[in-house]
């Protein structure tokens, strides 16, 4: 099923890429994308973010596959000419007392393959995720982004997201 991304005023984006719900057949490529996402974070800050290992793509694929069909979770795929080029993973979650927030839609991952970035695919994934979370009952959507990921922060801000928390890390001597 193809989803409308919620970007009505940019029909060229809709002709370029489409957004749909993920299936089990997508898991190999989504596992690789998950490992690529981990690698990006590790490259930005290797003391904070774990690096992917040889089993990361299959472990990531297994995790995303385990989420398919849950009524409070979505895994979306962006396609260009029938090829998956990105994904979003999000869920409607209850109170999180560690994060000091009430129920919310939580976007865990938004990833676009390097060769497809800066073409509007991430914006389409984000819009579709937000719209679908709203349809699932979320009245607030939260997400996190790596401190050094300025491109993602600009995208999120352009879509109405505002900073509310700053994670701070201190490395301890061993």
pLDDT in tens, 106-161: 999 999 999 999 999 999 999 999 999 999 999 999 999 999 999 999 999 999 99
pLDDT of residue 174: 82
> pTM of the full predicted structure?
0.90
pLDDT interval class at 3 (50, 70, 90) = low
- Among 84, 81, 41, residue whose Cα is nearest residue 61: 84
pLDDT tens for 106-117 read 999 999 999 999
Greatest pairwise CA separation for the chain in angstroms:
54
pLDDT at 168: 92
Per-residue pLDDT, averaged over 55-69, amounts to 97
Beta-strand relationship, 104-112 and 73-80 = unpaired
């Amino acid at each position: 099923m193809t989803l409308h991304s919620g970007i009505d005023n940019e029909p060229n984006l809709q002709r370029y890429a489409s957004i749909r719900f993920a299936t089990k057949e997508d898991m190999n490529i989504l596992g690789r994308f998950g490992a690529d996402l981990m690698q990006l974070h590790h490259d930005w800050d290797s003391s904070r973010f774990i690096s992917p290992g040889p089993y990361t793509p299959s472990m990531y694929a297994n995790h995303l596959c385990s989420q398919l069909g849950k009524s409070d979770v979505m895994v979306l795929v962006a396609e260009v000419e029938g090829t998956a080029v990105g994904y979003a993973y999000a869920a409607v979650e209850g109170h999180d007392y560690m994060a000091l927030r009430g129920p919310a839609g939580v976007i865990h991952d938004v990833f676009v393959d390097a060769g497809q970035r800066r073409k509007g695919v991430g914006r389409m994934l984000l819009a579709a995720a937000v719209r679908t979370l709203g349809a699932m009952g979320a009245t607030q959507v939260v997400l996190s982004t790596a401190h050094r990921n300025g491109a993602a922060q600009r995208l999120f801000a352009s879509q109405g997201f505002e900073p509310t928390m700053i994670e701070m890390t201190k490395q301890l001597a061993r």
